[in-house]
Every structure is written in C-alpha cells, then in structure tokens.
C-alpha cells in the first residue's frame, strides 16, 4: 500500500514550522509529499533512531504555529524523521496538550482540579459552555477543555490559553469573562510572603531580574560553581553526602549517592536532567524557582555536569509553564555567551551544555524513566527498574535526574557549607524545604521552612484556615499523598514524620480543606486524575484506576454494587492490587488519598 495516499500533506504554515526546526528537506518536496532520496518513503532504521528525539519538539512546533497538528502535518513529520506514521500518531495522542482534533486557533484549558474546584472552577466551566459550546468543540474561533492542575494553585482558579502563532499563556486567577474576551494581564512570578532575609532557596525570587546574568551574579550567582570547581569532583560529592541532602521530587534519594553512581558509571557519554515536569496536583514550587531564579537551575545543572562527568543536560519543563521555559532558555543563552556553558566551562577544563525540552501535558512524564522515553520521542511510558538511571538512563546512557528544588538546594549546600546545611532540620531530613500550601488558607503560596516545622506552624504561616472556619482535613503530598485530620496537625514535616503519620511529603504539596467540605467530589476528582494520567501500560493501574473511579461514583450516587460494605471492600482490594502490582509510582499511589480519606471517614459515604 502506498502510505502517501493516506496523507493529505501539510499546510504551508505547518511545513514551515517543521522546516524551521529540522532544516529544509534534503531532497525533493513534490508539492504534496516529501520523497526520500531513492524516491520512496522509508520509515524506521538507523535514520529514525538518530532523529526520533525531535518528534515531540516537531509536534510542538506545528501546534505553536497552527494551533493543532493535522494529519498532513503528522505525515510530514513522520517522513522527515522517518518515524512510522502509526508511531508518530501514538506519540502525538499520548499527550493531552498536543491537539490532533480541534481546529480552533485558540484553546482555553480550564483547571477543574481539587484546588481550583474550591475557587469557582465549575462556574467558569458553566459560563464557557454557555458561551462557546461543549468542551472539546472543534469549531472555528475559541474552544475550551477542562484540565488537571496547572501548577498555579496559589492563585486559583487557573487557566492556560493556547493561541496559534503566539503559544501558551497562563491566566490566574481566571474568570470566564476575561477568558473569552482574551483580555488578561501578564502574571507576576508567585508572591513570596516571607521575609527574604530568612530564606535560602527563595531568597532571590522577586529580588533579582530573572532575565539578567549580571543581576544573578550580583546576588552571589556562580559563586557555588567556583567553589565546586575548587573543591574537585570527589570532595564535592563527599560534601553532598555530608549535607544529608535528599531528593525533593518525591523519592527522597540521597543526591551524593546518585551523583557518585553516574560519576563512577562506565562510558564516555552521560547526561544530567533537571526534572521540571511538576504536575502533581497542588504543587507549584518548581515553577516559581524556574521563573524567578532560572540561572540558579542552570548553575546547579552545570555543577551536576562537573560532578558526574556528563557533558549534556536536559531541562525538562512541563508544557504548561511557558514563562519558565522561556526564562531557562534565555539563561542558557546568556550563560553560553559568558563561557559558563559549552566548551571549557569557566576555563575549568570541562565541557557541558544544556537543552530545554518541553513536556506536553502528561503527569507520568515526571517519572524519571517515562521522562527518558519522552525525550527520546517515544510515548511517555515508564520502564522497569533495574537497570537504574545511573547505569542506563536517557538514550541508554548513565543519567542523573534531579528535581528542580533539589538542584537549587545543592547551591545552598555549597554556599553555607555541608555541616551548616546538615544542622538544619533533623538527622534524616536535613536542610530547608519548600512547601506549596493551597486550598482553604488565607495566604496560599510557597513557603520555605526548616525540615521539622509542624504542619500547624506551616498553616499558621499561610494565615490559617480562611474565613475563620475549622480544619476538615489536609492532603499532604498532593493527589499521590494522603489526608490527615485536624488531630494530626502537630506532625513534623520530615520524611520520617510524614511516614509516621501514614503519609509522605511527596513533592511538598499541602492542600487544606475546611470543615465545611464535602470530600466526595474531591475524592472523585483525584480518582479521575489517576484514571486520566495512567499511561495504560500495566493492567493493575490501567484497569484499577477506572474501577476505583466507578466505585466512588456508585457510592456518591447511593447505588453501591452488592451493598455498601461490598463496595468499600472492592475499593480496598483495588488499592491492594494497584499498590502491590503496578510498575511505577503512579499506580502504586493511585489509591493512597482515597484510602486515607476512607480511613478517616471522609467522602466514602453516599452523597
């Protein structure tokens, strides 16, 4: 069969977007279809493996220019990258932000996740439906679609707008009228409510110009790299061991062990990755760091390159964070010009450079092995571990993946010294820690506190429960975390304190629900999130997340299958199977918030 017959050919705009990224085609474009050197389209093989990693950037390029990715554009990308069209289609449709359906040049993504739901998201959706028609409408003009958390929970309700030709824009707090009128202001980086003098990780946010290397340097920027180089690789990694710094992305793995693993791994080619995919509902800390202090991320990645021997870094930024992406790209350009990236970095005899990669609306791509697949141009499906990334990571090479906050904390270790860093917090949870607090508090936002601060103290910093209400429950660790009740507010915010309270700190999300809350809708939204975001690769998670959502819906409708007790037992059984038998952390934690709520008697009733 001639596959070309299936392809419509791209529009001029789409073709130009692809050619801008990939360069002009090497041989004839016959006015409708690109033909390979021998006159045939040859998919796969060596050429495909070489360039496949450009698949997602090419999809973004087309969508940025045209608003969506047509069949013709997908066919053209497939031909240019020699990726089979079915595989390219599989990748394009994996990502929520890649639009292969709607033809509207403007698409509004409205967050209706757990925090925005408490700030009027449903009313916004109702107004948009009245004005623009049902979600996902494919007509001309403006379309809209509901979205999971957009990482703007500190200023809920949030929306993200994509317009052909001008890209993405965050809008928060959003309201239906300004959304449909496409009239809104440029957003400032999140407000920091604390006194900057007392802060380490957030001290530059709002104080320096995030687009200026000079401004960054004037606040001590790049002193940490100088120190790291002066110490040398071994002493640097030993200092990280001594600091006790553990990863802030959820798994709490000691960074010294990870960096040493990559440094000691066999092979010439190694990578470091800054994980800025931050998509856990209730989490926005990495956005504020990347937007407000992008040079810090770039400096810390450079130190990671020096320590591990990696010559290339990827900063993987979630697609919903256009400002973070732009500022990181600008910081990379300026650092390169100043000799702080590229060949012979800072005259210290090592090479290191960084490329920004944009995610496209897939929570699972924050999982490190799914992130590798995403960069490589595959569907973002997690891989079995072992082999661990330090041995076999992106492109099969030793790779260190670190969360954005972890990287910024490396600078703090170098600035203050390992012993001083280790003296903050507890023996097993050292240093300063960021918490994103949102929901029913008076001052939602990002707070930096020493590990060991209690949940109650954190909530007090955020102004306490809003409107004078009492605490219903607090979801610690985001959708993948667990609810704790008002009797647990004195829990210490440490890795070990969270474990003792049967929860985890996860990515540092703390969502407060007041005592008027009906928890049923929140639990169903969490269940929906996991069902939507499951990559579908393994059965316990793919089926379990659907069954969990169905079961909660039946309970809500007062229509339990086989009776109330049986339905509750079904939820427990599903939780056990998902937790025990799923391949990755998504399935393993998909039941934890629901289970914790049921244990506390929240939201499992018939309402």
Binder among 501, 535, 574, 602 for ligand SF4 (CB under 6 A): 535
Backbone angles phi, psi at 455, to 5 degrees: -60, -40
Query: Is residue 475 close enough to count as binding ligand FES by CB under 6 A?
Result: no
**Integer CA distances (angstroms), 148 to 115, 436, 445, 447, in order:** 10, 17, 19, 23
Taking the complex as a whole, the smallest distance from the CB of residue 224 to ligand FMN amounts, in Å, to 17
* 102-121 binders of ligand FES (CB under 6 A): 111, 113-116
Q: Tell me which residue of 116, 29, 37 sits closest to 75, measured CA to CA.
A: 29
| Partner whose binding site includes residue 115, from ligand FES, ligand SF4, ligand FMN, none (CB under 5 to 8 Å by kind) | ligand FES
**Integer CA distances (angstroms), 174 to 107, 109, 119, 120, 542, in order:** 15, 11, 10, 10, 33
Binder among 382, 393, 477, 508 for ligand SF4 (CB under 6 A): 382
Query: Is residue 584 close enough to count as binding ligand SF4 by CB under 6 A?
Result: yes
Backbone angles phi, psi at 179, to 5 degrees: -65, -50
Separation between Cα atoms, residue 521 and residue 109, nearest integer Å = 20
Encoded tokens for 7: 């392809």
Binder among 72, 173, 250, 294 for ligand FMN (CB under 6 A): 250
Total site size for ligand FES, rule CB under 6 A: 13
Separation between Cα atoms, residue 358 and residue 87, nearest integer Å = 19
Separation between Cα atoms, residue 170 and residue 187, nearest integer Å = 7
Strands (E), 209-368: 271-276, 312-317, 353-358
Separation between Cα atoms, residue 412 and residue 235, nearest integer Å = 16
Taking the complex as a whole, the smallest distance from the CB of residue 391 to ligand FMN amounts, in Å, to 15
| Partner whose binding site includes residue 156, from ligand SF4, ligand FES, ligand FMN, none (CB under 5 to 8 Å by kind) | ligand FES
| Partner whose binding site includes residue 249, from ligand SF4, ligand FMN, ligand FES, none (CB under 5 to 8 Å by kind) | ligand FMN
| Partner whose binding site includes residue 392, from ligand FMN, ligand FES, ligand SF4, none (CB under 5 to 8 Å by kind) | none
How far is the first Cα of the chain from the last one, in angstroms, to the nearest whole number?
Answer: 56
**Integer CA distances (angstroms), 228 to 388, 424, 543, in order:** 26, 21, 48
Taking the complex as a whole, the smallest distance from the CB of residue 186 to ligand SF4 amounts, in Å, to 35
Q: Which 8-state DSSP code applies to residue 105?
A: S
Only one of the segments 393-401, 496-504, 515-523, 530-538 lies at the binding site for ligand SF4 (rule: CB under 6 A); that segment is 530-538
Binder among 87, 368, 448, 567 for ligand FMN (CB under 6 A): 368
**For ligand FMN, the closer CB: 110 or 404:** 404
Q: Which 8-state DSSP code applies to residue 400?
A: E
Asked if 507 and 153 count as a contact pair (C-beta separation under 8 A), the reply is no
Separation between Cα atoms, residue 221 and residue 213, nearest integer Å = 8
**For ligand FES, the closer CB: 121 or 346:** 121
Query: Is residue 585 close enough to count as binding ligand FMN by CB under 6 A?
Result: yes
Strand pairing partners for 403?
Answer: 275
Query: Is residue 399 close enough to count as binding ligand FMN by CB under 6 A?
Result: no
| Partner whose binding site includes residue 537, from ligand SF4, ligand FMN, ligand FES, none (CB under 5 to 8 Å by kind) | ligand SF4
Q: Which 8-state DSSP code applies to residue 114?
A: T
Separation between Cα atoms, residue 262 and residue 267, nearest integer Å = 10
The reply to whether omega before 173 is within 30° of 0 (cis) is yes
Query: Is residue 536 close enough to count as binding ligand SF4 by CB under 6 A?
Result: yes
Query: Is residue 595 close enough to count as binding ligand FMN by CB under 6 A?
Result: no
Q: Tell me which residue of 182, 307, 197, 294 sits closest to 245, measured CA to CA.
A: 307
| Partner whose binding site includes residue 541, from ligand FMN, ligand FES, ligand SF4, none (CB under 5 to 8 Å by kind) | ligand SF4
| Partner whose binding site includes residue 394, from ligand SF4, ligand FMN, ligand FES, none (CB under 5 to 8 Å by kind) | none
Taking the complex as a whole, the smallest distance from the CB of residue 321 to ligand SF4 amounts, in Å, to 22
**Which parts of this chain interact with ligand FES (CB under 6 A)?**
111, 113-116, 149-153, 156, 158, 281
> Which residues lie near ligand SF4 (CB under 6 A)?
364, 382, 534-538, 541-542, 582-584, 586-587
Q: Which residues bind ligand FMN (CB under 6 A)?
A: 247-251, 253, 275, 277-279, 364, 366-368, 401-403, 406, 584-586
């Amino acid at each position: 069969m001639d596959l070309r017959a299936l392809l419509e050919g791209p529009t001029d705009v789409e073709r130009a977007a692809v050619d801008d990224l990939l360069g002009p085609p090497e041989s004839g474009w016959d006015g409708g279809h690109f033909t390979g050197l021998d006159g045939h389209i040859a998919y796969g093989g060596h050429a495909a493996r070489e360039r496949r990693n450009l698949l997602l950037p090419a999809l973004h390029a087309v969508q940025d220019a045209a608003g969506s990715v047509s069949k013709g554009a997908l066919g053209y990308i497939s031909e240019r990258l020699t990726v089979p069209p079915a595989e390219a289609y599989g990748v394009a449709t994996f990502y929520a932000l890649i639009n292969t359906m709607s033809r509207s040049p403007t698409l509004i993504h409205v967050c209706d996740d757990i925090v925005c739901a408490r700030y009027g998201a449903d009313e916004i959706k109702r107004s948009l439906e009245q004005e623009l028609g049902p979600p996902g409408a494919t007509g001309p003009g403006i379309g809209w679609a509901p979205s999971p958390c957009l990482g703007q929970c500190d200023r809920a309700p949030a929306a993200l707008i994509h317009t052909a030709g001008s890209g993405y824009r965050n809008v928060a707090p959003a309201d239906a009228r300004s959304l449909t009128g496409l009239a809104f202001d440029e957003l400032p980086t999140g407000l920091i409510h604390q006194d900057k003098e007392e802060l380490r990780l957030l001290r530059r946010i709002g104080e320096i110009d995030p687009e200026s290397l000079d401004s960054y340097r004037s606040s001590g920027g790049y002193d940490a790299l100088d120190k790291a180089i002066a110490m040398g690789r071994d002493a640097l990694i030993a200092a990280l061991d001594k600091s006790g710094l553990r990863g802030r992305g959820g798994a709490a793995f000691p960074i010294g062990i990870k960096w040493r693993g990559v440094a000691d791994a066999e092979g010439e080619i190694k990578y470091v990755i800054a994980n800025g995919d931050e998509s856990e509902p209730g989490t926005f800390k990495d956005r504020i760091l990347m937007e407000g202090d992008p040079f810090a991320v770039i400096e810390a990645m450079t130190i990671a390159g020096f320590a591990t021997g990696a010559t290339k870094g990827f900063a993987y930024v979630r697609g919903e964070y256009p400002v973070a992406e732009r500022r990181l790209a600008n910081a990379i350009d300026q650092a390169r010009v100043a000799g702080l990236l590229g060949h012979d970095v800072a005259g210290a005899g090592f090479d290191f450079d960084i490329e920004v990669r944009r995610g496209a609306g897939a929570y699972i791509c924050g999982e490190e092995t799914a992130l590798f697949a995403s960069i490589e141009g595959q569907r973002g499906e997690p891989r079995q571990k072992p082999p661990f990334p330090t041995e076999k990571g992106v492109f099969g090479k030793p790779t260190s993946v670190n969360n954005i906050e972890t990287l910024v904390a490396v600078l703090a270790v170098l600035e203050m010294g390992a012993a001083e860093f280790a003296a903050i917090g507890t023996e097993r949870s050292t240093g300063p820690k960021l918490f994103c607090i949102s929901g029913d508090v008076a001052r939602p936002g990002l707070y930096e506190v020493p590990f060991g601060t209690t949940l109650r103290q954190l909530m007090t910093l955020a102004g306490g429960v809003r409107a004078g209400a009492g605490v219903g429950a607090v979801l610690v660790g985001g959708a993948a975390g667990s609810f704790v009740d008002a009797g647990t507010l004195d829990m210490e915010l440490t890795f070990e304190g969270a474990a003792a309270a049967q929860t985890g700190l996860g990515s540092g999300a703390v969502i407060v629900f007041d005592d008027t809350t009906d928890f049923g809708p929140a639990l169903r939204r969490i269940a929906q999130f996991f069902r939507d975001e499951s990559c579908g690769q393994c059965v316990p998670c793919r089926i379990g997340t659907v069954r969990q959502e169905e079961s909660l819906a039946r309970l809500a409708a007062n229509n339990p299958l086989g009776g109330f007790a049986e339905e509750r037992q079904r939820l427990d059984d599903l939780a056990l199977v998902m937790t025990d038998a799923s391949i990755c952390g998504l399935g393993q934690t998909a039941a934890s918030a629901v289970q914790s709520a049921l244990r506390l008697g929240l939201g499992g009733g018939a309402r």
